[in-house]
């Protein structure tokens, strides 16, 4: 099972020093990948409650968020080996032609280390800010992922979709990876699961308990095998880590508690057959400095092996 780590992208800690130190330390420790998320704003009165908080309000750290692709580009320049991934881009926010160029540029500049996680998001407030109809997000995602693949692999390119048109053209900037970088999708609704099975190279669930991940993955992997027999379909698990000094006894969320409890969750992810486990410690109360983040990175790597 590969191991990944989320870059310090949120709140007052986010900046060049933290991103550089975490990226380089992760590579030195033997982590396989670095990841960024996509958050546009923090509505003070959200139209839809934030699902990961009891009060429905996004954590204060979301008030300041580095752009995901700029952060990956910076990390690419500071590292040599580690893969660079998005977990996940809200695909409908982006013009797919421009996005294809930005992502291909990262793959070229990093010498083939890009991995593309995409989803559709959940916040109507962010869709309003991006100028994209919230109710169209599924159809846009279907269209845009096909466009990305075409731009990366076809020559010449000839496309027309929602809000864009490419006359028959040569788009010479192609990713280093052939035929293209891997695409992962976060999905839990039936249409999104069908999309992931049809178009993605793996499933990257966010906010789904480990107890539910296994059965859902079997469903998606089965559908993917029917859509493209023989294709490898990966499972990537995200562990949102929250450390505690004493064991958490009741209503414990996955990857929360003592290091021993978190080690049990790591073992559970491995037992599920996860191809990769990505740690995100940015919201843990014990991680409020670069030094504490680096200590957490070392501790998690030690228990994960």
What DSSP state is assigned to residue 13? T
Residue 230 has what pLDDT?
86
Residue 183 has what pLDDT?
98
Residue 86 has what pLDDT?
98
Q: What is the pLDDT along the chain (305 residues), one digit of tens a residue?
A: 999 999 999 999 999 999 999 999 999 999 999 999 999 999 999 999 998 888 999 999 999 999 999 999 999 999 999 999 999 999 999 999 999 999 999 999 999 999 999 999 999 999 999 999 999 999 999 999 999 999 999 999 999 999 999 999 999 999 999 999 999 999 888 888 899 999 999 999 988 999 999 999 999 999 999 988 888 999 999 999 999 999 998 889 999 999 999 999 999 999 999 999 999 999 898 898 999 999 999 999 999 98
Domain of residue 69: give its range: 2-304
Cα–Cα distance measured from residue 205 to residue 179, given in angstroms and rounded to the nearest whole number: 24
Helices (H) and strands (E) in the chain, counts: 9, 13
Residue 193 has what pLDDT?
87
CATH of the domain at 190: 3.20.20.30
For the chain, what is the radius of gyration of the CA atoms?
19
Cα–Cα distance measured from residue 261 to residue 154, given in angstroms and rounded to the nearest whole number: 48
> Of how many residues is the chain composed?
305
Cα–Cα distance measured from residue 193 to residue 225, given in angstroms and rounded to the nearest whole number: 13
If one counts every other C-beta atom within 10 angstroms of the C-beta of residue 224, the result is 23
Residue 267 has what pLDDT?
98
Q: How many domains does the chain have?
A: 1
Residue 52 has what pLDDT?
85
User: What are the CA-CA distances from residue 151 to residues 87, 100, 144, 195, 263 (Å)?
Assistant: 22, 7, 10, 19, 42
């Amino acid at each position: 099972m590969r191991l990944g780590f989320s870059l310090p992208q949120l709140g007052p800690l986010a900046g060049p020093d933290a991103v550089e130190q975490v990226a380089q330390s992760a590579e030195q420790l033997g982590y396989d990948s670095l990841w960024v998320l996509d958050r546009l704003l923090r509505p003070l009165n959200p139209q839809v409650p934030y699902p990961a908080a009891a009060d429905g309000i996004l954590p204060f750290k979301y008030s300041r968020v580095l752009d995901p692709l700029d952060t990956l580009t910076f990390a690419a320049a500071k590292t040599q080996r580690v893969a660079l991934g998005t977990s996940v881009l809200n695909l409908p926010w982006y013009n797919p032609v421009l996005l294809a160029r930005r992502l291909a540029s990262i793959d070229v500049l990093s010498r083939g280390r890009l991995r593309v996680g995409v989803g559709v998001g959940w916040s109507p407030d962010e869709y309003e800010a991006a100028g994209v109809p919230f109710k169209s997000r599924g159809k846009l995602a279907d269209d845009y992922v096909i466009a990305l693949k075409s731009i990366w692999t076809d020559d010449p390119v000839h496309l027309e979709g929602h809000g864009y048109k490419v006359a028959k053209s040569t788009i010479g900037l192609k990713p280093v990876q052939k035929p293209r970088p891997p695409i992962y999708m976060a999905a839990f609704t039936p249409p999104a699961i069908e999309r992931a099975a049809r178009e993605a190279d793996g499933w990257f669930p966010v906010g789904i308990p480990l107890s539910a991940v296994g059965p859902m993955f079997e469903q998606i992997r089965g559908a993917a095998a029917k859509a493209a027999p023989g294709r490898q379909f990966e499972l990537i698990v995200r562990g949102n880590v929250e450390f505690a000094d004493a064991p958490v006894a009741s209503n414990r969320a996955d990857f929360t508690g003592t290091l021993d409890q978190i080690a049990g969750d790591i073992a559970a992810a491995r037992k599920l057959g996860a191809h990769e486990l990505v740690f995100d410690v940015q919201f843990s109360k014990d991680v409020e400095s670069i030094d504490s983040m680096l200590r957490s990175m070392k501790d998690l790597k030690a228990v994960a092996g």
